[in-house]
Amino acid sequence: MSISIIDIEIDGVHIFKDEKFYINFRNESRVFEEEKENHVVSKLMGNNYRNNVVALAGINASGKTSSLYLINFIMMVFIMGEGLNFDKRIAALLNKEVTIKAHFISKKKIYYLKASITKEATVSGQVLNFKEEEVYSKVVNSQVTNKMFLDHSDFSEELVRSELLSSKSGAFLKEEDSVLPSFAQVDGLDVPRNYVLDTFSSTDMNFIYAFSKYDASIIQYLDDSIEHLEIEFNIEEKQAYFSLKFYNSEPIRGTLLNLRDYLSSGTIKGLSIFSYIKAILKNGGYLLVDELEIHFNKTIVENILSFFQSKANKNGATLVFSTHYSELLDKIERKETVKILRKKERKIQIDNLAELSEAEKKNRTDVKNSDLILSGIFGTAPSYEKYWKVYKNLLELTEGDSSEK
């Protein structure tokens, strides 16, 4: 029995509006039978569902990557049991005092976490530590209403970090480790090892992560000229090798780094991400991808989305991704799952597309998500004024070159 995240709130993120980051994975509007049947959503309890695809959309430097880092941070610390300092990029986003609030659910039990974190400068850099943590819970059934689902009036206190530290049980608790993963384990929750995966390290550079034989169906889908591909790791040499064979060609063997000489960037990324997708669909976990469309053609990206919005996703896996490709958003079933990121007065603001569309009286099925984004009415198109300044600058440079000749 694993755990799902309902929402995340981080107070003390200086790059966001009001220094607060918030994202909700739960449905905010009615869920239709077709969406349930096609696994566009996963049932939490009652009429409460979790959206299986969440997209972060916006222009360059609008905060999409930072948002993904923050989501991953919460999942890795409070679900997977990593320490607060496992990702050094996080400290740079946070103030000296931070408050985290998040809701999780496992079967019929909802957990409410409230944590206080401090940041201090050390000789080795910025370090995060827990100041306090409180864990509350309540049991819900199929009769629970949307309004009462997260109502705090009937939550019961389960654990307080400061009290635990004063007991023998807290003797080995590190300052950067959360109490929630251990508590959840005692409470009967079993989180798979690869429950939360991300592809951040391959956003700009492609790597193949798994040392294994790849499914023939995946290889054929990405490149039908490949007959066989296998990755092996030599423990003695501490080196990874590939064995590759194209149809009607001699086998090729070499170090993993040289595989890029034989396969396209799209194939290399595809082998990695499809391996991740396979694992996540199996265990019902989370896959976070920054700039999903990089190195892929449109069809492959659309197919990836379809895996998480179809019967292939019967275990309720979640894909969270960022994109610059507005047309890709037309393949997302529910507008509320498209999170629009914009900068106003140099602070990042997050809104869902359904709410923005409603305000403009454009929340209709006949209006494409991409048309809304590209129209610029939400500040999601590059500034024409800024473009014109760049254009004039380039024009002056070229005219200068002409006069010198």
- What DSSP string runs through 255-300? EGGGGGGTS-HHHHHHHHHHHHHHHHHHHT-EEEESSTTTT--HHH
pLDDT of residue 183: 86
- Regarding beta strands 338-344 and 53-57, do their DSSP bridges make them parallel or antiparallel, or are they unpaired? parallel
Distance CA 280, CA 195 (A): 7
Residues 6+ away with beta carbon under 8 Å from 312: 39, 281
For 159-255, where are the alpha helices, taking DSSP H only?
161-165, 180-186, 216-222
For the chain, how far is it from start to end, CA to CA, in angstroms?
A: 74
Q: Measure Cα distances from 89 to 85, 118, 134 in Å.
A: 9, 15, 25
Intervals of the chain under pLDDT 70: 1, 202-213, 366, 377, 379-388, 391, 400-405
pLDDT of residue 213: 67
| φ/ψ bin of 101: left (φ > 0), alpha (ψ from -120 to 50), beta (otherwise) | beta
Q: Identify which of 297, 204, 199, 208 has the alpha carbon closest to the alpha carbon of residue 260.
A: 208
Give the HSE-up count for residue 319: Cα atoms under 13 Å, Cβ half-sphere.
31
Tell me if residue 371 falls in helix, strand or coil: helix
pLDDT of residue 172: 85
* Helix or strand holding residue 51 (H, E): strand 48-51
pLDDT of residue 383: 56
Distance CA 150, CA 8 (A): 13
pLDDT of residue 59: 84
Distance CA 58, CA 247 (A): 42
Q: What are phi and psi of 335, to 5 degrees?
A: -60, -30
Distance CA 36, CA 44 (A): 12
For 150-297, where are the alpha helices, taking DSSP H only?
161-165, 180-186, 216-222, 265-283
Residues 6+ away with beta carbon under 8 Å from 174: 83
Number of C-beta neighbours around residue 230 at 10 A: 14
Burial code of 289-325, b = ≥16 C-beta within 10 A, e = fewer?
bbbbbbbbeeebbeebbebbbeeebeebbbbbbbbeb
Q: Identify which of 46, 58, 66, 117 has the alpha carbon closest to the alpha carbon of residue 338.
A: 58
The answer to whether 203 and 291 have CB atoms below 8 angstroms apart is: yes
pLDDT of residue 122: 92
Q: Identify which of 63, 150, 90 has the alpha carbon closest to the alpha carbon of residue 342.
A: 63
